[in-house]
Amino acid sequence: MKAKTFYADSIATGSITAYYTVPNNTRSKLIYLDVQHDTGTGAKDVDIYVHDGSTNHHIAKESLNVGENATVSLSETSFIMLEAGHSIRAQASGTNPSGIQLVFTVEETPFLVSTA
């Protein structure tokens, strides 16, 4: 199992954008997810999704003022399992996304299929 932490700066507005896609022959556990609003003015909404290859599944929505962050509660007993090809996507509200960041950690595990 290999843990990877990702930092996405300037979450896109106007369209849902992928920030991580599970590699082929791999499963990933989403174990940490945090969103923050560090510059700009006013509140911004941030929507986070898991895309399963055909559908965006909404997993979190946070409304943050400048200087605020929100951690989505995930732990050893509460995680989201992602299959190969699934992705983590996000979208921020407003016209200037430069102040919205997304930080998340996944644990990747090779998915081996036995033919025996």
pLDDT at 1: 73
Q: What string of DSSP letters covers 80-96?
A: EEE-TT-EEEEEE-SS-
Rounded to an integer, what distance in angstroms lies between the CA atom of residue 28 and that of residue 85?
10
Q: Residue 72 has which token pair?
A: 């989505």
pLDDT digits (tens, 9 = 90+) for 22-79: 999 999 999 999 999 988 778 888 999 999 999 999 999 999 988 899 998 776 668 8
Model's pTM, two decimal places? 0.86
Rounded to an integer, what distance in angstroms lies between the CA atom of residue 103 and that of residue 110?
23
* Number of residues that make up the chain: 116
Rounded to an integer, what distance in angstroms lies between the CA atom of residue 87 and that of residue 21?
4
